[in-house]
Structure 1
Amino acid sequence: MRIKYTISIVFFVALVIIEKENNIISRVSDKLILKQTPQTLQPDDSSHTHLKPNGSITTLTKLEPAFTLMKRRLENYTEPQEPRAAGGKHILLLATTRTGSSFVGEFFNQQGDNMFYLFEPLWHVERMLTLETGGTNATAAARAYRDVLRQLFLCDFSPLEGFIDPPPVDHVTAALFRRESSSSLCEESVCSPFVKGVFERYHCRTRRCGPLNFTTASESCRQKEHRAIKSVRVRQLENLRPLAEDPRLDVRFIQLVRDPRAVLASRMVAFAAKYRNWKQWAMDGDVPIDDDEVRKLKGNCDNIRMSAEVGLRQPPWLRRRYMLVRYEDIARFPMSKASEMYRFTEIPFTPQVKAWILKNTQASKEAGGVYSTQKNSSEQVEKWRFSIPFKIAQVVQNVCGPTLKLFGYKFVDSKEMLMDRSISLIEEKVFSFM
């Protein structure tokens, strides 16, 4: 009888312990990103605690893997630390591809020792969430983008690690996309010893570093007063509202836009394989208006316009947090527009940034390539007008008309007008951000 009571007590105590462990895990997991789409990796359910239909525990031996998993999760999870410096700003540069975002991102990448800058960290998230059709689950992607951005602004790289393939080992990876484009990740304090035989595709160019250690990167991030991230993957500004309302953050959203006709012309050159249909239509002269590619163009324009409309309305959650910038204005007046951007973010505009802008907006014709940030910026404004057929420009005007009007881009009604340099297609327009 005594043995029977003892066994009952042991089982009861085991149940209590398991319940407490599960409560802890539940609270912790709420703070982690849950990848809930079919295309993402899911935790191995085989190691979770299993109960029989009547609710009794199978055996204590079978529970051991569950306890091991719980212990591992608790040991590996660390609460993100609060930003170290008071008054630090969190800058998110939002754009789409071929709008000059890499160039504008350098305005913050070149800031110096008080800025931690990341270049396209959401590339990994998008890649893992991409479906076989080539698209993504918009709802799942929006949540993942938002949650990863929040933790990166808090200098916590652990959610991002879950999207990197192959997965980092002990928080070390050689696979971070475009690491070399972030001076913060190539500083001496973050530069780990070089490992012979380890190939890092996006290796630092300023010094010879080993694979990136995210723990070291997090420590460096927390030492910086401000953080900036550049991304072309967020579709709707409204989805980022929780970031603006997070009391731990002081986020400033800068939305960079460009004439959709110029964007398409640039993509047809930079992504020739993806835009081969457009190139064929440009030669044939006929564009099927019901084609998926045309619908995709319209969807992109609509997303950009709707985000800008939200920002320009300045709802309470975005008041003094949103700024709209046209690439054409930056290309024509780089120093004054950069000064405006720094005034908006309330960060000092350093001589280091000014020197970089002077050097990289007066480049020779031989400098750079399609991804280069070194260009004669004033020439880039009009260049597209001589590489896109009038028929293609008309299609863009038809499907992106409201977007063109909102941002102040003039329509063309003939091939002659399109190619006439004396006619500006940019209205002088001021977008208030204060």
Structure 2
Amino acid sequence: MERISALPQDFWEVLHCLKMRSKYAVLLVFVVGLVIIEKENNFISRVSDKLKQSPQVLPEANETEASPVQAENGSLASLQRLDTAFSQLRTRLRNVTLQLAGELGMAAPGPRRHVLLMATTRTGSSFVGEFFNQQGNIFYLFEPLWHIERTVTFEPGGANAVGSALVYRDVLQQLLLCDLYILESFISPAPEEHLTAALFRRGSSRSLCEEPVCTPGLKKVFEKYHCKNRRCGPLNITLAAEACRRKQHMALKTVRIRQLEFLQPLAEDPRLDLRVIQLVRDPRAVLASRMVAFSGKYESWKKWAAEGEAPLQEDEVQRLRGNCESIRLSAELGLRQPRWLQGRYMLVRYEDVARAPLRKALEMYRFAGIHPTPQVEEWIRTNTQAPQDGNGIYSTQKNSSEQFEKWRFSIPFKLAQVVQDACEPAMRLFGYKLASSAQELTNRSLSLLEEGPPTQVT
């Protein structure tokens, strides 16, 4: 018994050393633990066999309990104390294993959530996506469907639009299951031996820029999309897929899924616990932002607003109307909460996030069924009070409470009217007020927001 009682102390000293010196401590803990458990099982078996072979230590057949003398001789009582010590050892082993797993960002027991942030360009989705990217136990991917859009060509509208949506959906399903190899058919140039330096915006995913996926010290090679704070070399897709499976949850941000109804097979997939967060923004603000970010594509809009001679192309206005209708129809479907979407859909306005980022982040985490870490809250506090120093059009740092209405002073009222005419049904659904004049548009004391978006529709 002295040998057994001394075992936990030695064991914890080994654990402490492993924890300090090796990132593979969890694996080694399990190995050491299994060895110890096996030895304990063998020891208990030997004691039990000796008890069976020693009739003097067993009670008589007609007795209901062993005599005090027998207990003092160390047979059954010793075995009971040994079993208790063994149970305590297993409990302590499990607790330390879970603790180390959490510190290394590995998956812990519990339901695995799959979060899809569904948005359109220039709605603040990169900023909101960081709420999940900063969580250590979430594997986050930033716009992986970008590669599919660049590789598979579909004409807009009709059957081709349906075809593109089906391809996006099927690739998305595999990605949520951590099958990252699905991207190899779409990345250009094609990966070699599961290595690629061309994964779009790799640096926007912390999980792809931390060990063991990132292995600093490798020979430096050209990386089209590299990690922000460290050089990692080409992305090893196998290591990335393994890291995805180790994380407890999975989150993905995309602006390329437009029709919510196409996600029904994913919501009904028993391997997934899908939660869809649809992010929307005032379409007038979206247009103002796109005219800055994609200036070349909006030359005709800017020229028309400034000169008013040549009318806007009708197909451009129709495209704007079609985008707004697609967003509205998806939101209405989600808010109706059909059986396959019950408890799986949440509508979020960017403006509400900008005004109260921490509160909205906590609401999204509650909806997803994930407990946020202090690191998430710290990131939000730090990055929503950043100075307005021109961090770039794709920056995720902003003084959000002051930034979200700046568009009102940059878009000409003529263009705001075009958007209002094309997108009025969607604007009314989401609680965006129409401006009747340039004075109303630029009057900051006049809110263009209703209290909040609807929580359901009939």
| TM band (smaller chain) | 0.7 to 0.9
Residue 409 of structure 1 aligns with which residue?
Answer: 432
* Pairs within 5 Å for 1:284-303: 284-285=307-308, 288=311, 291-303=314-326
* Pairs within 5 Å for 1:118-129: 118-129=141-152
Report the Cα distance in structure 1 between the residues aligned to 2:281 and 2:309, rounded to whole angstroms. 25
Q: Which runs of 4+ in 1 moved over 2 A?
A: 83-86, 130-137, 192-198, 285-290, 430-433
Pairing 1:378–2:397 present? no
User: Residues 354-376 of structure 1: CA distance to partner in whole angstroms, max 9, x if unpaired?
Assistant: 00000011111215111100001
**Residues 195-204 or 338-347, more deviating:** 195-204
TM-score (norm 1): 0.77
* Pairs within 5 Å for 1:96-245: 96-112=120-136, 114-130=137-153, 137-192=160-215, 196=219, 198-245=221-268
User: Residues 207-263 of structure 1: CA distance to partner in whole angstroms, max 9, x if unpaired?
Assistant: 221100110101111100100000001110111111000000000000000000000
Shift of 1:352: 0.6
The answer to whether the 8 Å contact 1:99/1:327 transfers is: yes
Report the Cα distance in structure 1 between the residues aligned to 2:169 and 2:441, rounded to whole angstroms. 40
Say which SS state the counterpart of residue 191 (structure 1) adopts: coil
Structure-2 change in CA distance of 1:254 and 1:402 (3 Å) = same
Report the Cα distance in structure 2 between the residues aligned to 1:430 and 1:139, rounded to whole angstroms. 28
Report the Cα distance in structure 2 between the residues aligned to 1:399 and 1:332, rounded to whole angstroms. 27
Pairing 1:429–2:434 present? no
Q: Which has the higher helix share?
A: 2
Shift of 1:273: 0.7
* Pairs within 5 Å for 1:237-386: 237-285=260-308, 288=311, 291-386=314-409
The answer to whether the 8 Å contact 1:192/1:212 transfers is: no
Q: Between Structure 1 and Structure 2, whose CA radius of gyration is higher? A: 2
Report the Cα distance in structure 2 between the residues aligned to 1:88 and 1:107, rounded to whole angstroms. 18
Report the Cα distance in structure 2 between the residues aligned to 1:327 and 1:124, rounded to whole angstroms. 26
The answer to whether the 8 Å contact 1:194/1:211 transfers is: no
Report the Cα distance in structure 1 between the residues aligned to 2:291 and 2:233, rounded to whole angstroms. 36
Shift of 1:133: 8.7
Report the Cα distance in structure 1 between the residues aligned to 2:196 and 2:350, rounded to whole angstroms. 34
- Name the count of aligned residue pairs: 350
Identity rate, percent: 66
User: Residues 41-83 of structure 1: CA distance to partner in whole angstroms, max 9, x if unpaired?
Assistant: xxxxxxxxxxxxxxxxxxxxxxxxxxxxxxxxxxxxxxxxxx9
**Residues 134-143 or 147-156, more deviating:** 134-143
Give the aligned CA root-mean-square deviation in angstroms.
2.0
Shift of 1:432: 3.1
Pairing 1:92–2:116 present? yes
**Residues 308-317 or 130-139, more deviating:** 130-139
Shift of 1:284: 1.9
Which 5+ residue runs of structure 2 have no aligned equivalent? 1-106
Pairing 1:393–2:413 present? no
1:220 partner amino acid: A
The answer to whether the 8 Å contact 1:146/1:239 transfers is: yes
Report the Cα distance in structure 2 between the residues aligned to 1:252 and 1:287, rounded to whole angstroms. 45
Report the Cα distance in structure 2 between the residues aligned to 1:180 and 1:362, rounded to whole angstroms. 22
The answer to whether the 8 Å contact 1:172/1:211 transfers is: yes
Structure-2 change in CA distance of 1:222 and 1:378 (3 Å) = same
Structure-2 change in CA distance of 1:326 and 1:132 (3 Å) = closer
Structure-2 change in CA distance of 1:320 and 1:204 (3 Å) = same
Structure-2 change in CA distance of 1:396 and 1:204 (3 Å) = same
Shift of 1:131: 5.0
Shift of 1:281: 1.6
Report the Cα distance in structure 1 between the residues aligned to 2:447 and 2:334, rounded to whole angstroms. 27
2:377 partner amino acid: K
Residue 36 of structure 1 aligns with which residue?
Answer: none
Say which SS state the counterpart of residue 137 (structure 1) adopts: helix
Report the Cα distance in structure 2 between the residues aligned to 1:214 and 1:242, rounded to whole angstroms. 26
Shift of 1:288: 3.4
1:406 partner amino acid: L
Say which SS state the counterpart of residue 404 (structure 2) adopts: helix
Report the Cα distance in structure 1 between the residues aligned to 2:308 and 2:200, rounded to whole angstroms. 38
Shift of 1:129: 1.6
The answer to whether the 8 Å contact 1:195/1:211 transfers is: no
Structure-2 change in CA distance of 1:133 and 1:341 (3 Å) = closer
1:329 partner amino acid: D
The answer to whether the 8 Å contact 1:109/1:182 transfers is: yes
The answer to whether the 8 Å contact 1:287/1:392 transfers is: no
Shift of 1:387: 0.5
Report the Cα distance in structure 2 between the residues aligned to 1:188 and 1:393, rounded to whole angstroms. 47
Report the Cα distance in structure 1 between the residues aligned to 2:334 and 2:411, rounded to whole angstroms. 31
